[in-house]
Each structure stands twice: as C-alpha cells, then as structure tokens.
Amino acid sequence: MLGTAMSGIPVLFLVYLREVHARNSVPARYLALVTILGLGMGVGWSLIAGPTIADAYNDAVGAQMDISQKLLSWLAIPISEALLMVAPTLVVRAIDRRSTAGSLDGFTIGAWGALVTNGASTATLLAPQLATGVSGDNQPVDALLVEAMVEGLAWPVASLATGGAIGIVLWFNRSATVSSRFRRVASTSVALTMLNMTAMCVVDIAPISLYLYLGLQMLIGLLAVLALRVAIAYALLRRHPDEVDGNDTMPCGECDHTVPRMAFCPDCGAAMPAGAVPLTKSGYLRVAIPATAGVGVTVAIGMVAATLMTPTTETYVCPPDCGKPPIGNPVETNPRFSGDDGAFSVSYPGEGSVYEATFDPPGINGVQLKYLGGDTGTLTLFGKPAEERTPKQIAQQLLNTKYPGAVVDYEIPNASVGYQPGYGVVADVYPRDTSSGYTRLRVIIMVAVRHDYALIAMAAGPYHKFTPSYGTGHPSGANLEVAMDMGKYVNSFRWNGDRYEHP
C-alpha cells in the first residue's frame, strides 16, 4: 500500500508522457531539473515542517497550543506546502524565459514537478511506518484504506492538477487580443490552486471523523481536476495562432475529420490545438505493463526496507528478566491545583520537573501536563459536571470527540480516580495524517464520578512496548511512557468536601 501510494500516480504519469511523445517538445534537461528540485524540496520540507505538523495533530487530539503555534500550523505551513508544489516549475520558467514552448509543454513541466515534490514529501513522511513491519496487523482496515486513497490518489492528483495549471499559465503564449482577460484568468487560476492545496493541508490536521476526512480530501482533489480542465480548455482555445501550424483546413485528432482551421472542431467540439496531429491509440498492455513494473519495484524495495527496519521481538524470561513494578514517588509535597471554583483539587509536578504545566487551557477545567522527556506525551487532569452520566459514558464520549477513529484495546479492570471506583479504557489512535510523526498513539482515559461531578485523567503519547531493555523492565499493558507517572497524580484527586487523607 505504501509503495503504491508513493509511486502509483507518478509512474502512470511517466507512461502518459511516453505515450504522448512529450520528449519531442519538452527538453529533457527541464524535466531533469524539476525532478531534482522536487526531490530536494519535498524531502527538505518534510524534515523541517513534519515536527510542527506533529504538534498540530496533537492539538487536534486533545493537546493545546498557543496562538502563534496555531497560526504556524494552520496557516503558514499549509501555504508553504502549496507554494512548494509549484516552486520547481517557477525555477524552470525563470530559466526558460525566452522559450517558445506552448501551454501544454508548461502543463507537462508543472505537473511532473508537483508530482515529484509530493511523492518525495509523502515518501519521507511515510518511511517511519516501515518500521512497524510488512503488514499492519494492529491497524484497522478502514484506516488503511482511507490512508491509501488519500495519500495514493487525492494528494497526487491534486498536486498534478495544481502544478499543471500553474505550468499552463506560465507558458501560455497569449495574443494582444486576450491580454487583459488572460491576466484576470491567470491570477484567478493561481489563487484557486493555492487555495486548493492550502485547504487539503488544513483538512489533513483537522479534528474530524475518518470518513468526513476522506470525503473532503477526495472532493478537493476533484475540484482541482475540474479547475485544471478549465485551464486547459482556456489555454487551447485562446492560445496564440503561432502555436498552431496548418492551412485553411486541418485534421481533428479526436474525430479524424478534416475541418476548417478553428479554435475547436465544429464536429466534435474538441480543442483543435490539442489534436493537430492524430495520436496513436494506446493499448491496455502498453500502459499496464510498465505501470505495474514501476509500482512493483517500489513495493519490493519497501518490503525489503520494512523487513530490515522492523525490530525483533524481545521475549521475557523470568527469572532473570522480571524487572520491577513502576513505583512512583510520593506526591504529598507537590503543589496542588484547585479547579472549577474549588469543585476539586489535584497534585501536579512542580518546577524543575520534566513536565510543563498549563492551567485551565481552553475548554478544560484543570491542569494539562506536557511531558518533555523520553517519548514525550501529554497528561491532562481535569473535572467537569457529570450531568447524570456514568463514568463509562463520559469516557466513551471523550474518546469519540477528542480521539476520533480510536480503537479500544481493553478496559482497565477495577479502575479508580482519587480512590473512587470508576471506569478506565486504553485505546490506540492511528494518525491519518502522515505528518503526525507517529504511527501509533496510545491513549488512556480514567473517570470517576462523585456528587454528580466527574474527575478525569487522560494520557496520550507514542505507543512504546515495554520490554526488558525499556522502562523498568517490568511488563506493562499500558505501553505508554507517561503512564508510569500517571497513577500517583490520578490518586491525588480530591472532590470538594473530601477529607485529604484516604482510608
């Protein structure tokens, strides 16, 4: 799936270029230049912007960021990615300022440059997933299919359309009679393509359900193709007469009729410049064989890389690999936070710890702790009115709203918060956004209700299997580093009116 997503559309586009004999009109040096620029820009952008987008994904699933981080993640990075798709084309056009190449040649250069840039970015962001093995045994099938459709179809097609439209605009040889209209159409096309790519980036990190995410991405990709279709039609119908060679009549490449020399065929309506010379029909085998071979090579490389990158499974032999239970330090001396007008209180790490505390972040009455060490992660301790809901109902609602698409791994037996019996659940989130930086997030939610008021502890961070060489060496079903500290703060919760001492 990853191999097809990274190479499927680009390989098919290469077959297309061969079938339309693009080498006869587009200099090979320009295609080579946009390829090199696209690879460099795609990989470089992913390495620089990936961690920031990872923070944006964490914000989408419950963590909070300040306004500057939100502006960076929701505005600056999407716009920069949109510009990135057309940057190789702009460089080539700056070099090729005196070229007499036509708008279709510009389409070829722009579309290929954007495809390569998107492919390089996707490959860089998807590469960490290879370490999870050749198959995604633990990942839901629907999540895998959605990722395949978005990364393998929606994004490449939208990138192709964006780059192709920009290329058409840059290489359009306009006549004086269409100069003013061209400026309006060109500026509109550029604005729409940039808006289109920006919208895809924003949807990529938006906290929405899996199927809504898929629908929006596919819709944006379709709109990009429609916009490209309009750009091609405009360019072919209004291109400079010097771009078309012929006499008073010419053959139509679409219907094979000889018709008067016009902007479009009066018989079938096809743009005449696009079919001035009849094209050889491509057979299925001429397309299927090279496309399958190209994708197959990528898939084989990916399987070999996944096999080499996947760590071997560590087994426990007890003794001697028994480890020790994760026993935390007492929290009696830690500062306490009183929230929601004194409805509850809870201990939290003081200054000098590996946590960064935020009090009453937007939408939360409590403390949010950002774990800065090891695997990183977040621990949120807060309260809210139960409104006659059970702890299980509250936990499930939080899981569905804060972590859409989460898959429940198991329920925590005998869960308690502040020594009050409640409900706990452990779930996994497989980020649909390849830029999230994680292939699997582990989420723990624990809830208890007293006096119709719920106290809640939520922990989230990268899934990390506890092994003899990791953590305390003791097996743990939590498989979350921040959970090693979670218990002592969960037990420090107090409702208003409770005695400080517990039985």
Which tens digit of pLDDT belongs to each residue from 93-108?
Answer: 888 776 666 788 889 9
Q: In whole angstroms, what is the distance from residue 169 CA to residue 230 CA? A: 12
Identify which of 371, 386, 361, 356 has the alpha carbon closest to the alpha carbon of residue 442.
371
Question: With contact defined as beta carbons under 8 Å apart, do 110 and 86 qualify?
Answer: yes
426 bridge partner residues:
410, 444
How many other C-beta atoms can be found within 10 angstroms of the C-beta atom of residue 4? Answer: 18
DSSP conformation letters of 111-167: HHHHHHHHHHHHHHHHGGGGGG-SS-TTS-HHHHHHHHHIIIIIHHHHHHHHHHHHH
**Under CATH, which number does the domain 336-495 receive?**
3.40.1000.10
Residues near 410 by beta carbon (within 8 Å), at least 6 away in sequence? 425, 426, 477
Instruction: Map tokens 């119908």 to a residue.
Output: 237
Residue ranges covered by each domain of the chain: 2-243+281-308, 336-495
Q: In whole angstroms, what is the distance from residue 391 CA to residue 406 CA? A: 18
Instruction: Map tokens 């859409």 to a residue.
Output: 404
The three state secondary structure string of 388-423 is: CCCHHHHHHHHHHHHCCCCEEEEEECCCEECCEECE
Q: Which two tokens stand for residue 207?
A: 């906290």
Residues near 315 by beta carbon (within 8 Å), at least 6 away in sequence? none
Instruction: Map tokens 């950002």 to a residue.
Output: 370
Question: With contact defined as beta carbons under 8 Å apart, do 483 and 462 qualify?
Answer: no
Low-confidence ranges of the chain (pLDDT < 70): 50-75, 98-101, 137-138, 173-187, 189, 205, 207, 238-248, 250, 253-254, 256, 259-264, 266-281, 313-316, 319-333, 431-439, 471-473, 497-503
Peptide bond into 320 cis (omega under 30): yes
User: What number of residues does the chain have?
Assistant: 503
Question: With contact defined as beta carbons under 8 Å apart, do 120 and 43 qualify?
Answer: yes
Identify which of 310, 297, 172, 317 has the alpha carbon closest to the alpha carbon of residue 231.
172
| Four-residue CA torsion sign, 458, 459, 463, 464 | negative
Reported as type and span, the H/E element at residue 90 is helix 77-95
Predicted local distance difference test score (pLDDT) of residue 449: 94
Amino acid at residue number 218: M
Measured in degrees and rounded to the nearest 5, phi and psi for residue 354 equal -90, 15
Q: In whole angstroms, what is the distance from residue 467 CA to residue 32 CA? A: 48
pTM above 0.75, yes or no: no
Question: With contact defined as beta carbons under 8 Å apart, do 471 and 328 qualify?
Answer: no
Q: In whole angstroms, what is the distance from residue 118 CA to residue 37 CA? A: 12
